[in-house]
């Protein structure tokens, strides 16, 4: 099983790149729908990566005792995936 550092690296790197690109676009062209979604998705990915890296409760790969995932993890991952999908749809349209 990979270490926490290796597991946290992917969402953190992706989140930093996505949030950085969105921030640059906001500075150059102003706030738009896709830049807001990209920024939210990037920051969510960074939050998930930091949660995995620091070992905060709810960011581990194990389920809770009753078999459900922590709501924080599900919410952040859902926000990141929704932002990615809507942002990609807007960019390709």
Record the pTM.
0.65
pLDDT in tens, 11-68: 888 888 888 888 888 899 888 887 888 888 888 888 888 887 887 666 655 555 555 5
Handedness of CA 81, 83, 86, 87 (dihedral sign): negative
Q: What is the 3-state secondary structure (H, E, C) of the chain?
A: CCCHHHHHHHHHHHHHHHHHHHHHHHHHHCCCHHHHHHHHHHHHHHHHHHHHHHCCCCCCCCCCCCCCCCHHHHHHHHHHHHHHHHHHHHHHC
């Amino acid at each position: 099983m990979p270490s926490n550092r290796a597991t946290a690296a992917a969402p953190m790197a992706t989140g930093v790149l996505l949030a950085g690109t969105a921030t640059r676009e906001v500075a150059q062209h102003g706030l738009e729908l896709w830049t807001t979604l990209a920024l939210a998705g990037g920051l969510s990915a960074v939050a998930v990566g930091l949660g995995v890296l620091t070992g905060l409760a709810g960011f581990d790969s194990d389920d809770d005792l009753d078999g459900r995932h922590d709501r924080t993890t599900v919410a952040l991952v859902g926000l990141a995936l929704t932002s990615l999908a809507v942002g990609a749809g807007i960019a390709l349209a």
